[in-house]
Amino acid sequence: MNQTHTSYKLSKALKEFLGDSAPEPMGLRVWAKVKSGPAKGDVLLIDYMPGVVGIEQFPAYQLHDLLSKPFCEAMANARAKIVFIGKGMGKKFNKRTAEIIAHDLLNRYYDGGLPAVEAELFRMMEAKS
């Protein structure tokens, strides 16, 4: 288990799921997909480069990013919109929900490293209830 950053697939899914509330990774590393030129289609792990034309950038999170308060709060808020607001219940974010997310992610890390954390995040994004 040498994986140190979230995969491109998860990073892209998190950015779409969290939208503008997605926090930047503390290390400012991103997955970049080249949109034009000779390297078109390549996916690279690079340092964040704001305003570069021709690449899509998605945050490459490390474990400390995923367990951070901003990330867990953003995840809890995004899940509340799917799980509760979608059902007309209007449930707002609460501190306990973010704590549960952090606890679940940490447990998954001890069970199977970052790949297990990724699987749990995908499960959280897909869950409808």
pLDDT of residue 95: 62
Q: Output the pLDDT for position 84.
A: 60
**DSSP readout, 75-98?**
HHHHHHHHHTGGGT--PPP-HHHH
Question: What is the predicted pLDDT for the residue at 89?
Answer: 47
How high is the mean pLDDT in each 10-residue block of the chain (129 residues)?
85 92 86 81 81 82 93 87 55 68 93 93 78
Helix (H, G, I), strand (E, B) or coil at 126: helix
**How close are the terminal C-alpha atoms of the chain, in Å?**
31
Side-chain half-sphere of 37: how many Cα atoms within 13 Å?
8
